[in-house]
Chains A and B, each alone.
Chain A
Amino acid sequence: MTRATPAVPLPDDLPLPWRDALAGRLAPDEAVQAWLQTDLDATLHFSASLLVLTDRRLLAADAPSATDWQSWPLAAGQRFDHVDHAGVGTLALHDAHHRLATWRYTLALNTEALRLADQHTRLIERIADPHAVHEDEDGLCPRCKAPLPPDDDECPLCERATVKPPETWALLRLWRFARPYRGRLLAGFLLTLASTAANLVPPYLTIPLMDKVLIPHQTGTRITFDAVWPYMAGLLAAALFAWALGWARTYILARVSERIGADLRTTTFDHLMGQSLEYFGGKRTGDLMARIGAETDRINVFLSLHLLDFATDVLMLFMTAVVLFSINPWLALVTLLPLPVIAWMIHTVRDRLRTGFEKVDRIWGEVTNVLADTIPGIRVVKAFAQEKRESERFAAANRRNLETNDRVNRVWSLFGPTVTLLTEVGLLFVWGFGIWQVGNDHITVGVLTAFIAYISRFYLRLDSMSRIVSVTQKAAAGAKRIFDILDHASSVPEPARPVHLEQVSGRIELRSVGFRYGNRAVLRGVDLDIAPGEFIGLVGHSGSGKSTLVNLINRFYDVSSGSIRIDGTDIRALPVAEYRRHIGLVLQEPFLFFGTIADNIAYGRPDATRDEIIAAARAAHAHEFILRLPHGYDSMVGERGQTLSGGERQRISIARALLIDPRILILDEATSAVDTATEKEIQRALDNLVQGRTTLAIAHRLSTLRKADRLVVLDRGQIVEVGQHDDLMAREGHYYRLYMAQQRQAEADAAEGVLA
């Protein structure tokens, strides 16, 4: 077979069967510019087809073996339309008159598809105007348009997009938290060893007591004090020794495990705080609370009590076995007979129990979810008289909890008694075999008594070991759910090589910013330059992407494509906390934490002096109403605290933003939750805040944005108009329509007011 090797090499990452098929079809000097292996066909079934863009045409085939490759020479007027819906992207090739072809793919391939379409547009533009100048794209990541590190082709921001499934065996992974305490853990282990050994002494002393004191007494030799006291003393000493060692061991290990549990909880919470808003949007509060609260506690109890017991049990078993074998190997063998059976049982039951307990945990999360939903929304529940329905919802969750528990308990309840039965049967064997051996004078009565004493301890241990199966599985299930949180890398990650900005002037540049939430594209191709100190008003219908844009600038989420730069630096290259220090945020529903008013104002800068707090409150026009409160700045607010009106809360949050003196200010519907009179007051406070800062304001009432330097009108995720109020009104476009609609509404309201 002869294969024409093209002079221009094919892209390295093109899959092999396609390479071979394609190589024979390209002209010698034809260069591949972009390619896309789609994963859906026209009927939306999973199957691969290829679309290749070269410097002169588009090529497509349904399979590498296909003979009917389609080809479209590049021509002026040709364009790609791109839409995506419900997770499926569609590229449609059009010329001036017709649709020529469509390709479909899942959104996993979206960036590749868009890159191909972009490249195609550029080539077509070059046909129309060969001297067209294009923005220099060197040094930018082709995917996300973020600047690449100087001598690196891999974009550090795109790399993280690949998710790695975490490793399993959750309990062993707890070692990471145990490591800092390994010295104390070793001490605890040695103490366990010693105390277990001390516990084994008493039964051993029963042999001589029996054989040298009690049995001779029955055959006529009198018991003398001299013969008895060493054994009695030995028993007492062993008991005291075991007590002291056991106390030290329990104390040390309980302390350590308590610390491990605390570390685990803190680490999990820290990690949670580092997550993006996207994560919290997708999680339910009750479930997260259950994981951090109840499950860390369960792991803690497991480590402090059960793991300790388990270690003791294993040691005890092992040491007892050694002692038994040293006294009489045959009898020992019979004693250990039930062990393999029990081990097998533990093994079979374990898996079922673990999955069962995982399920119980998840359903427990559901129960807490109902609580976390209902209690904050209690006003709505009562207003719509739905108490009964919520009760039923809770009862249903609880019932499911019960059912799942019942299922686990069915396995579990059988397990314990079966172990007990096996041990009883084992004991029977020992008695029988022992009596037979004594009868044949192979062993003494003392040896048999010692054996019975040992194995009753032995079986007791076995019993408690079987109990630990359930606790271990519970803890393993809990650990898994904790590590689910810990393994979740933040979708707003800290940069690997952070850039530090000492001073920020407040220049913001958005470059073809796109954002999708799930499978919905919320923002597309947003380009905007904001000068330092400029006041930008964001306008648009609800759902047009205003809040999303602001959230992206805040870096609550990361852009899906494009980049946001502050003073020329990509915000993804700055440490998150450092970057957010430059941003002041005032929200529609200001959130006050439980604490004093002063604490709340100083939330962003806990080291602020009282004078600074008062100055901020004055500037925010909050000083006077605060002084009217019974405890002034020391009044408690937030949950269970002093009730404040919407306007008052808002002014506190403005003072909070003023105090950190940010270069960039974001007002997200800061005045829309209050009446017109209060709005005026807040507006005065805001005027102080806005001065000299780059400001982005979203307002539903367009009249509040009169002072803006520029208004940016968004519609369905795209910027449709930019300009000043008067310009935009003159243009009679989107803004004009929005404004007139509001005017009419206001007039209608006024007229109604007159009638009423």
Chain B
Amino acid sequence: MTIRLERDAHGQLALIDRDGQRHPGVLPVRAFPLSAPGEGVALMSTDGHELAWFDRLDELEAASRALLEDELARREFMPQVRAISGVSSFSTPCEWDVLTDRGATRFTLRSEDDIRRLVGGRLLVTDSHGIHYEVVDMKKLDRPSRRILDRFL
């Protein structure tokens, strides 16, 4: 018997393991959400123990995989910054008005240290509430956005 996933009436994900045992309320977690999101997904129990591990998501059969990806999509929130429309000040803390793939928003940057450089011109901006905003490639932003961003790097 293979591993299977189900969604119950309370919207929770349940895992049915190889022995047919049912674990309600499992949470999918990516091991490398930034550097290798496609690899290494674990299913964690409500009390924080690992129940299953997948090196790649295609190890799962299609229906379960769709459920898993759906659950991941609901949990993962990392808006991608498309443009920076303005900042309230060039010294921190300051407010940023940004256009993201999930719509326009405004957030507070607490300090320049909250901008983390990843490989390949990728940036991760953490706001005052711990929400991460991703800049996929700094060089691909428009000129005014790049100019603003440059002042903080």
| Chain A residues within 8 Å of B, Cβ to Cβ | 39-40, 43-47, 85-88, 92, 94, 97-99, 102, 106-108, 163, 165-168, 170, 282-284, 287, 355, 358-359, 362, 480, 483-484, 487-488, 516, 518-520, 715-716
Binds A, one of B52-60, B129-137, B138-146: B129-137
| Interface contact B104-A46, CB-CB below 8 Å | yes
| Interface contact A163-B108, CB-CB below 8 Å | yes
Distance between B14 CB and nearest chain A CB, rounded to angstroms: 13
Distance between B81 CB and nearest chain A CB, rounded to angstroms: 12
| Interface contact A87-B150, CB-CB below 8 Å | no
Q: Give which listed residue, B91, B93, B129, contacts A519 with CB less than 8 A.
A: B129
| Interface contact A520-B47, CB-CB below 8 Å | no
Q: Give which listed residue, B88, B102, B108, B113, contacts A282 with CB less than 8 A.
A: B113
Chain A residue at minimum C-beta to C-beta distance from B147:
A355
Which residues from chain B contact A45 at a C-beta distance below 8 Å? Answer: 102-103
Binds A, one of B15-23, B35-43, B61-69, B70-78: B70-78
- Contact size range, B: 35 or more
The distance in angstroms between the C-alpha atoms of A39 and B108, with both chains bound, is 15
Which residues from chain B contact A107 at a C-beta distance below 8 Å? Answer: 129-131
Chain B residue at minimum C-beta to C-beta distance from A86:
B77
The distance in angstroms between the C-alpha atoms of A166 and B95, with both chains bound, is 11
Which residues from chain B contact A487 at a C-beta distance below 8 Å? Answer: 91
Which residues from chain B contact A166 at a C-beta distance below 8 Å? Answer: 89, 91, 93
Whether a CB of chain A sits under 8 angstroms from the CB of B85 is no
| Chain B residues within 8 Å of A, Cβ to Cβ | 9-11, 47-48, 73-79, 88-95, 100, 102-105, 108, 110-114, 126-132, 150-151, 153
Q: Give which listed residue, B73, B93, B103, B111, contacts A46 with CB less than 8 A.
A: B103
Q: Give which listed residue, B73, B94, B132, contacts A86 with CB less than 8 A.
A: B132
Which residues from chain B contact A102 at a C-beta distance below 8 Å? Answer: 11
Chain A residue at minimum C-beta to C-beta distance from B78:
A86
User: Given the known A-B contacts A166-B89, A283-B113, are A99 and B74 also in contact in the complex, defined by CB atoms under 8 Å?
Assistant: no
Q: Give which listed residue, A47, A94, A167, contacts B103 with CB less than 8 A.
A: A47
| Interface contact A165-B151, CB-CB below 8 Å | no
| Interface contact B48-A99, CB-CB below 8 Å | no
| Interface contact B111-A106, CB-CB below 8 Å | no
| Interface contact A170-B132, CB-CB below 8 Å | no
| Interface contact A163-B9, CB-CB below 8 Å | no
Instruction: Given contact pairs A165-B95, A282-B113, A362-B153, enumerate 17 new A-B contacts (beta carbons under 8 Å).
Output: A39-B105, A40-B77, A45-B103, A46-B105, A87-B77, A87-B131, A88-B75, A92-B10, A98-B10, A99-B11, A163-B110, A168-B91, A170-B91, A355-B151, A359-B150, A487-B91, A519-B131
Chain A residue at minimum C-beta to C-beta distance from B152:
A362
Distance between A545 CB and nearest chain B CB, rounded to angstroms: 13
| Interface contact A106-B129, CB-CB below 8 Å | yes
Chain B residue at minimum C-beta to C-beta distance from A88:
B77
The distance in angstroms between the C-alpha atoms of A393 and B132, with both chains bound, is 26
The distance in angstroms between the C-alpha atoms of A258 and B92, with both chains bound, is 28
Which residues from chain B contact A518 at a C-beta distance below 8 Å? Answer: 126, 130
The distance in angstroms between the C-alpha atoms of A516 and B129, with both chains bound, is 10
The distance in angstroms between the C-alpha atoms of A284 and B129, with both chains bound, is 20
The distance in angstroms between the C-alpha atoms of A163 and B128, with both chains bound, is 10
Which residues from chain A contact B114 at a C-beta distance below 8 Å? Answer: 282
Distance between A681 CB and nearest chain B CB, rounded to angstroms: 36
| Interface contact B94-A165, CB-CB below 8 Å | yes
List 10 A-B pairs, minimum CB-CB distance, nearest first: A519-B130, A87-B131, A46-B103, A518-B130, A99-B11, A107-B129, A45-B102, A88-B77, A165-B89, A98-B9
The distance in angstroms between the C-alpha atoms of A105 and B106, with both chains bound, is 14
User: Given the known A-B contacts A85-B75, A87-B77, are A282 and B111 also in contact in the complex, defined by CB atoms under 8 Å?
Assistant: yes
User: Given the known A-B contacts A46-B102, A168-B90, A484-B91, are A284 and B113 also in contact in the complex, defined by CB atoms under 8 Å?
Assistant: yes
The distance in angstroms between the C-alpha atoms of A99 and B13, with both chains bound, is 12
Distance between A170 CB and nearest chain B CB, rounded to angstroms: 7
Chain A residue at minimum C-beta to C-beta distance from B111:
A282
Which residues from chain A contact B128 at a C-beta distance below 8 Å? Answer: 163
Most buried by B among A86, A102, A487: A86
Which residues from chain B contact A488 at a C-beta distance below 8 Å? Answer: 93, 111
Most buried by A among B91, B110, B113: B91
User: Given the known A-B contacts A107-B130, A108-B129, are A483 and B91 also in contact in the complex, defined by CB atoms under 8 Å?
Assistant: yes
Which residues from chain A contact B153 at a C-beta distance below 8 Å? Answer: 359, 362
User: Given the known A-B contacts A86-B77, A87-B129, A518-B126, are A44 and B91 also in contact in the complex, defined by CB atoms under 8 Å?
Assistant: no
Give 6 pairs: A residue, B residue, CB < 8 Å, sorted on A.
A45-B102, A87-B77, A88-B77, A165-B93, A488-B93, A519-B129
User: Given the known A-B contacts A46-B105, A94-B10, A165-B88, are A358 and B151 also in contact in the complex, defined by CB atoms under 8 Å?
Assistant: yes
The distance in angstroms between the C-alpha atoms of A99 and B130, with both chains bound, is 28
The distance in angstroms between the C-alpha atoms of A154 and B105, with both chains bound, is 28
Which residues from chain A contact B112 at a C-beta distance below 8 Å? Answer: 362
Most buried by A among B10, B48, B132, B153: B10
Distance between A410 CB and nearest chain B CB, rounded to angstroms: 16
Distance between B18 CB and nearest chain A CB, rounded to angstroms: 25
